[in-house]
Structure 1
Amino acid sequence: MGRADRAKIKAPDFPSGLVWYNTRRPISLKELRGKVVLLDFWSYCCINCLHGISDLGRLEEKYPNEIVVIGVHSAKFNAEQKEENIRRAIMRHGIRYPVVNDKDLLIWHLYDIRAWPSFALIDPDGNLIGISAGEGIYESFSTIIDSIIQEYDREGKINRSPIQFEPETLPVIDSFLSFPGKVLAVESSNHLFIADTNHHRIIMATLDELAVQMIIGQGEAGFRDGNFMIAQFNHPQGMAAHGDFLYVADTENHAIRQVDLKNRQVITLAGNGRQARRINSGYGLTIPLNSPWDLVFHQGYLYIAMAGFHQIWQLRLKDGFIEPYAGSGREGLIDGKLKGAALAQPSGITTDGEKLYFADSESSSIRSADLPPQDTVSTIVGRDLFVFGDQDGEGNSVLLQHPMGVVFEQGYLYVADTYNNKIKRINIKKRTCETLFGAGVEGLRDGAGQETLFNEPEGLSIAKGQLYIADTNNHVIRKADLETNTVKTISFTGLDAYQQAAAALKE
């Protein structure tokens, strides 16, 4: 951490006129005298920022009356500047401390911030102690905060009076899902699987009748193997199926889980529930992972979009060996050899059997990685970390905005262009992109083509000519008929009957 306290630099206060969340009124640093204040400069697109939320929670638990955390949401993407989008992100990630919308980067520039995430530490006199960038803030800040509290305790300047904030609340929604992140349609078994992400469970329904057959996981965040009634996940995302098994990217458990659909058991294949800080390879449970977001099965391997490491990994199912497959771990958009390429938070992955295709979210691009024996990462559409927009066309003229879902079908890639609230189609050979569904603004509306509305869709899957869409911020699953070019919102049946049967089993 860079030190600023020798010069006793006063921390800049918050400009007026900004939108605040989790509090009834704007906050000033002056009213927080006597508290240690920690400013978190973040954006909800950024996986490294999301990792910091749990560390901030640990600091709040350790110093419940001594520190105040304030999130300064500093948008990278246009979609992240919108008030309602930030409010949803705050609720989605369980943030309870105050957050200010710094959409024009006013506070960012006052503190001379250069990267996401960054943290500014302010002492009880309102002086800027220093600024630190990157992850691992609990370890970085805990000792420093200890010393600040001890120093100001000796002077009688610590204010331990509790401060009550007012967390945002979700409006009542007519859906049994909460921020569903991914969806998987399996034509061979007639199943539709849904990652009910914020309910920490997997929903299994029939593909033809859309009737709920099974709920996998007890619905409370945790990390527990066992039968479907007791198993626990933590914000599960992408899924893949092979035979009688479903594989799940258990994102916030930093683990890959295997669901035995025949025997109704969940086990852990890789990861130990803790976020990895360094890149390693090895066997199964001995190797910590870093926010696996999606996965695809191919010839005995799971290929994993390891968003937290900006890499693609592979898990050999016959013996559990897991290792990086593509990407150096450096965030960026650099093509080339598999291990030397730079990726940027891959969040969706699919395959045609010869290549892996992935949604490289932070570079707003769709890219490919060769399967053996070839050895190259290439970009199909997209340009760089800070080049994004909403433009159809060909090659380098195409602009996306933080795409998170991709699925292959007959020479095309269907893309969830998440922050543009659209579903697009890319011709792989021609590198052309066209919008199929979505008007480009947030909403929930069925209909034909671009008259439809979505709200940050994140997951896609195809079966029987139907495109299934996890419309994440609308808390629903949509179905697009690729022949008639129409979209409708799915109404699932059988949920009440299943829940009653499950409750009876618990008694």
Structure 2
Amino acid sequence: MRIRKSAAGILTLWAAWLLLDVGAGAVTQVVTSAGFGSGDGGSIPACTFYVPTDAARDAAQNTYIADSANHVIRRVDALGTVSTFAGTFGVAGTLDGNGTAARFNSPKSVVADAAGTTLFVVDTNNHSIRKIVLATGAVSTVAGRGGVSGFINGNTTNARFYMPSDLAVDATGNTLFVADTGNHCIRVIYCKNPINTVIASFAGTNQGYLNGNGTSAKFNAPCGVVLEPAGNTLYVADTNNHVIRQIATFGSKTVTTVTGQPALPGYAEGDSTTAVFNFPRSLVVNAANNLLYVSDTANHTLRRIDLASPGKTTAFVAGVAGNTGNADSSDGTGATAQFNLPMGLALDGTDIYVADSKNDAIRKITLAAGEVTTWAGGPGDGRTIPNCSFRLPSRLCRDAAGNQYITDADNHTIRKIAANGLVSTFAGQTGISGSVNGTSLTARFNLPKGIALFGTTLYVSDSENHTLRTIDTTTGMVALLAGAAGVTGTSNAPARFFNPQGLAVSPSGQFLYVADTNNHCIRRVDLAGNTVTTVFGSTSRASGFINALGTSARFNAPADLAIDAAGNTLYVADSGNHVIRGINLSTGLVSTVIGAEANLSNPQGVTVGDGFIFFSDASKNNLFIFDPIRHFAVKLAGLDTAGMADGDFGSALFNFPMGLAYAQGQLFVADAFNRRIRRLDSLFEVRDIQLTPVLNNIFIASAPTQQVLQIAPTISGQDTLQAITVSNLAGTAVAPGDIKAVTAWFQAGGGVFNPETAVRLGALTLTGDNHTWSSGPGAYNQLMYQNAAIYITVDISEVPTASRTCQFGVPAGGLIFASGTWPAAPVVNTFYQTLAPADVTFAIYHENLLPATVVKGQARVEALKFQFTNALHFDLTISALKLNLEDRDGNSLAAAAALSNVRAEGENGAVYSTLSLPAGPESAFVLNFSRPVNVPGGKSVVLKITSDINSAATAESFRFKLASASAVNQGTVKCMAAANDATGFPMVSDYAHVEKADLSESYSNYPNPFQPPKQVTHIKYYLKKPATVQVTLWTLTEDKVLNFITDEQQGVGFYRKDWDGKNGQGLLVQNGVYLCRLWLRYTDGTQELITRKIAVVR
């Protein structure tokens, strides 16, 4: 192929992009900075939980905990070591299996049988009852079907429950009583015979309050059950009726009320007629003392019912521990201790273990002294960062001393991580919402979401209170800045907000900008005058997507803000529009910085640092960096899927990352659903890149030229280009006179190199006798991103000494090692012009290429098409093509024996060449065009190659599918496209299989491959659209030989599968003809079944 310039200018080679992968030497890392997640493998003080709802103890002193929001069963052994016993931490699902291979969905209750061999689990959100064999960890389903609710009695698989909450097991372990909360009844499971487990109604049918016998009684969301040791009485916490009930387990199953006032929540001690409860949840019974203990959940207390007080005929109710109506996490004695929504209870001799759900802790009550201590879990205040826990860390900021402040939204607190790693609650009370100003720990917040720091003042968006608060970091005093607690609105005076979130303070400290999320606007607080103004977006709660000035612009749920160091631009994570916006604070113009082309989903965090913008794409679990100067972004970390994994940037996983904070080359991330603070290290490490190019030849022209090579990284993250070397492939000297200058350029977006718009990074200079050009350290301190490229231009001497082959790379020894493949298309010296085949891309079309039947000597067939794409910014011309013909095994074919009158035709019907093929045995033939084909810069031209079929053509000489072909000689031609210059130097495209649009004609297995020394056959086919592929082999009598491919997802393209001639048992099949069937189920819903024959002749 001869190409010449059709316009004045520099002829360039645009090489294919290289893929650069971060190697083992990389030090870019994502680590957990705070929030240990579980504490598995550690001791009790270091463990954490997420809404623990129940606990059970076995005879060996192991404690099992329903860690409901983590969807697992935890175990604390007798030595105090914590582990996840069953389920996968943080992953909801429904799956039986061993230990951590099983899946649960919000398990709410755990109960050990009397024998200590089985742990029963109420898997609430799976609407099922599970059991775990304690010796092996094997998890199986006793009753119900995972994820399917309902009310059906029957056997194991047919039964249905609706949000069951608790169960009790009798002394035999064969009868289970279930609080079927959503169905407002008590069910019974008879599981003595595991093959014939029976589920039946025991008491209650409809929602309400009614004593009576069995199913005639009524309950209202019963959540707790316990069986007294003799098995005669079942006690029920009838939660939404606020009473304690009892059921006689034998006879008529009479239901009566023990104590409490139906439908009257509150708190009162006294006998059965005067005591009052508030959503009682769980029960344990101490038979020796006739005491029933109750977690009075909404009263945040533990209550005791004396079932047989001396001289009394009714129960007597008293408090055991907890401060009525006051939620907190304080340890202490009796009423000085505090709980926050206590739920499940476990009695162990003289101690009761309480699942203190909202405190994420297991508390221990020593009954003799009434002393309450935190036994395990809790928020981790007073611990160092690996052992703390969060509920929903949303956003964070740092001060100059290295202290971090975090909005722990679901805990309703502001947490502090001191520079020495000590964690504390800085303001608010863990798990307690409210709106109270005052000293830090007496203050109350309600889902605080945003935080910003200026000087010694913390600004907090108290989202569910719809207010802005301030905290003095020196005194801890909390005050109201703007808004009214519990009141939403859009007005500026008086100021009203609606779920405000992100905050940013101007560099001068004069203004506080507020992302008023549900008002869909940006507000500004003048901190000097304490006035509030809607400055950007709607003043009437109108959402939308409009770039405009000030209040003419529209946002959709803006979530976070960041302002650049100069105070010129305010960046907005516009979560509902899935974009990043920028606001020019001088002009008020709102524009889109990162738009729809980035395909973001719910960006929740944005921050600035060292001239870059960082943002979190929460719903896709990714982090990005944006260069506002060159206006391009790259993914820093994340794999588009939720998970938890530390590691390098290419393997780390996040789960809904929200707020970000940048400091000294590190990025801190509030990884909300992982309940951790993560840290990205080594963001701007200066590193070398090692390239391993192959066949990157430069054949020097006879006239001075400049040629362009492209290095286009697609690594996850960014890198710097520190130095470039040039040498020949053998590593020996390159004559200095041959290459006189090498220059590096940067171009955002990659594409066609344009020196008028590319950024010139600098020229490399020749150093030493080894003829290595180097920029010198730091000279190319240039970030390299996805969708961008580094170009290397090579100025060639006017008087070259010879053709040279040169290798471009970067010196080894750096911290990053990357590899890639250079294009296999050289630059060739021909007729004093430079040939640039990489600029012309060969693409073989697979459409209407062969007729169903070829009549020799008559038919003109369209053999193949070439698409020539000119990637340069000036025109090219093509004056010749050279083609080869091969069979499907790669053997050359004599073209003249099969073809005649080969022509190249344009799309408009113009004929560019007519040629009589050589009579010799060679397969190559050249088409010299009668007139050049012009390919405009940046455009494509398609040429169609047509040919007559010679009447002497045979299946052996040219493998079109001939009418006379035998049954096993079914096949199509395989062509190789090539281009040569006048010196015969070949430029070869990939092999292309010329296939028919009808797949049945494209399918091939020819010739018979089992003749020595070949031991396999190649089953080949071309898919015109994506499909699920199944391939089976059969005898002619329809006996199956082998399942060759089973339901494999395949895209468009040519496929070759090798069969070794063996059946499904691994034995060689006999000689003969076999059937091969392809069943194709296309992604568009259509199907195709193709049957072809295969010969096996050994």
What's the TM-score bracket when you normalise by the shorter of the two chains? 0.5 to 0.7
Q: Give the CA deviation at 1:144.
A: 8.0
Contact 1:331 1:343 in 2 (8 A): yes
Contact 1:223 1:234 in 2 (8 A): no
Summarize the alignment of residues 441-452 of structure 1 with structure 2, pairs less than 5 Å apart.
Answer: 451-452=597-598
Aligned to 2:406: 248
Contact 2:539 2:551 in 1 (8 A): no
The equivalent position to 1:309 in structure 2, one of 436, 446, 465, is 465
Query: Quick one: higher RCO (CA 8 Å, sep 6+), 1 or 2?
Result: 1
The equivalent position to 1:347 in structure 2, one of 501, 506, 529, is 501
**In 1, Cα distance between the equivalents of 2:385 and 2:606?**
25
- Whether 2:426 is the aligned partner of 1:269: answer yes
Q: Structure 2: which amino acid aligns with 1:276?
A: S
- TM-score of the two chains, using structure 1 as the length reference: 0.54
1:324-364 deviation digits (Å, cap 9, x = unpaired): 1111121121112xxx3111111100010111001111111
Aligned to 2:603: 457
**In 2, Cα distance between the equivalents of 1:323 and 1:143?**
42
Contact 2:452 2:458 in 1 (8 A): yes
Q: Give the CA deviation at 1:485.
A: 1.2
CA RMSD of aligned residues (A): 3.9
Q: Secondary structure at the match of 1:487?
A: strand
Contact 2:238 2:244 in 1 (8 A): no
Aligned to 1:422: 579
Contact 1:254 1:273 in 2 (8 A): yes
Q: Structure 2: which amino acid aligns with 1:390?
A: F
Q: Give the CA deviation at 1:228.
A: 1.6
**In 1, Cα distance between the equivalents of 2:546 and 2:460?**
29
Q: Give the CA deviation at 1:423.
A: 0.4
**In 2, Cα distance between the equivalents of 1:226 and 1:238?**
21
Over 3 Å counting, the alpha-carbon distance change for 1:235 and 1:487 in structure 2 is: same
1:395-442 deviation digits (Å, cap 9, x = unpaired): 333221111011112322110000111000122343321111121xxx
Contact 1:388 1:400 in 2 (8 A): yes
- Whether 2:634 is the aligned partner of 1:488: answer yes
**In 1, Cα distance between the equivalents of 2:648 and 2:386?**
16
Contact 1:301 1:315 in 2 (8 A): yes
Q: Give the CA deviation at 1:64.
A: 5.1
Over 3 Å counting, the alpha-carbon distance change for 1:145 and 1:397 in structure 2 is: same
Q: Structure 2: which amino acid aligns with 1:387?
A: A
The equivalent position to 1:226 in structure 2, one of 383, 392, 400, is 383
Q: Secondary structure at the match of 2:603?
A: coil
1:22-66 deviation digits (Å, cap 9, x = unpaired): 89999899989xx999xxxxxxxxxxxxxxxxxxx9x96799522
Q: Give the CA deviation at 1:125.
A: 4.6
Contact 2:380 2:423 in 1 (8 A): no
**In 2, Cα distance between the equivalents of 1:464 and 1:286?**
38
Q: Structure 2: which amino acid aligns with 1:67?
A: G
**In 1, Cα distance between the equivalents of 2:648 and 2:416?**
26
- Whether 2:624 is the aligned partner of 1:473: answer no
Contact 2:449 2:461 in 1 (8 A): yes
Q: Secondary structure at the match of 1:434?
A: strand
1:141-174 deviation digits (Å, cap 9, x = unpaired): x998216997999889xxxxxxxxxxxxxxxxxx
The equivalent position to 1:294 in structure 2, one of 432, 450, 453, is 450
Whichever structure has more helix as a proportion of its residues is 1
**In 1, Cα distance between the equivalents of 2:468 and 2:543?**
22
Over 3 Å counting, the alpha-carbon distance change for 1:229 and 1:386 in structure 2 is: same
**In 1, Cα distance between the equivalents of 2:580 and 2:648?**
33
**In 1, Cα distance between the equivalents of 2:519 and 2:255?**
49
- Whether 2:544 is the aligned partner of 1:389: answer yes
Contact 1:348 1:359 in 2 (8 A): yes
Contact 1:382 1:396 in 2 (8 A): yes
Contact 2:151 2:183 in 1 (8 A): no
Q: Give the CA deviation at 1:241.
A: 1.1
Over 3 Å counting, the alpha-carbon distance change for 1:258 and 1:29 in structure 2 is: same
- Whether 2:560 is the aligned partner of 1:402: answer no
- Whether 2:589 is the aligned partner of 1:435: answer no
Aligned to 1:503: none
1:294-318 deviation digits (Å, cap 9, x = unpaired): 2111121101111121111000111
Q: Secondary structure at the match of 1:247?
A: strand
Q: Structure 2: which amino acid aligns with 1:310?
A: H
Over 3 Å counting, the alpha-carbon distance change for 1:125 and 1:466 in structure 2 is: same
Q: Secondary structure at the match of 1:224?
A: coil
Aligned to 1:200: none
Count of aligned pairs: 309
- Whether 2:489 is the aligned partner of 1:332: answer yes
Q: Secondary structure at the match of 1:473?
A: helix
1:460-492 deviation digits (Å, cap 9, x = unpaired): 001122110011111121111111111111149
The equivalent position to 1:368 in structure 2, one of 488, 513, 524, is 524
Q: Secondary structure at the match of 1:286?
A: coil
Contact 2:607 2:615 in 1 (8 A): yes
1:357-400 deviation digits (Å, cap 9, x = unpaired): 011111111111121x3121111123367521222222333221
Aligned to 1:41: none
Over 3 Å counting, the alpha-carbon distance change for 1:424 and 1:28 in structure 2 is: same
Aligned to 1:75: none
**In 1, Cα distance between the equivalents of 2:383 and 2:624?**
31
Q: Structure 1: which amino acid aligns with 2:182?
A: I
Whichever structure has more strand as a proportion of its residues is 2
**In 1, Cα distance between the equivalents of 2:484 and 2:584?**
28
The equivalent position to 1:65 in structure 2, one of 180, 187, 190, is 180
Q: Structure 1: which amino acid aligns with 2:607?
A: S
Q: Structure 2: which amino acid aligns with 1:303?
A: Y
**In 1, Cα distance between the equivalents of 2:518 and 2:421?**
37
**In 1, Cα distance between the equivalents of 2:499 and 2:461?**
8
**In 2, Cα distance between the equivalents of 1:325 and 1:364?**
20
Over 3 Å counting, the alpha-carbon distance change for 1:61 and 1:299 in structure 2 is: farther
Identify unmatched segments of 5+ residues in structure 1: 1-20, 38-56, 70-122, 128-141, 157-219, 440-450, 500-507
Summarize the alignment of residues 276-287 of structure 1 with structure 2, pairs less than 5 Å apart.
Answer: 276-277=433-434, 279-287=435-443
Contact 2:390 2:408 in 1 (8 A): yes
Q: Which has the larger radius of gyration?
A: 2
Identify unmatched segments of 5+ residues in structure 2: 1-124, 128-144, 154-159, 168-177, 185-203, 209-236, 248-252, 257-376, 639-644, 653-1098
Q: Secondary structure at the match of 1:297?
A: strand
Q: Structure 2: which amino acid aligns with 1:283?
A: T
Over 3 Å counting, the alpha-carbon distance change for 1:486 and 1:31 in structure 2 is: farther
**In 2, Cα distance between the equivalents of 1:361 and 1:31?**
45
Contact 1:332 1:384 in 2 (8 A): no
Contact 1:368 1:379 in 2 (8 A): yes
**In 2, Cα distance between the equivalents of 1:481 and 1:393?**
23
Summarize the alignment of residues 51-200 of structure 1 with structure 2, pairs less than 5 Å apart.
Answer: 65-67=180-182, 125=206, 145-146=240-241
Contact 2:521 2:541 in 1 (8 A): no
**In 2, Cα distance between the equivalents of 1:419 and 1:61?**
40
Q: Secondary structure at the match of 2:619?
A: helix
**In 1, Cα distance between the equivalents of 2:587 and 2:246?**
65
**In 1, Cα distance between the equivalents of 2:442 and 2:149?**
46
**In 2, Cα distance between the equivalents of 1:408 and 1:497?**
29
**In 2, Cα distance between the equivalents of 1:227 and 1:474?**
30
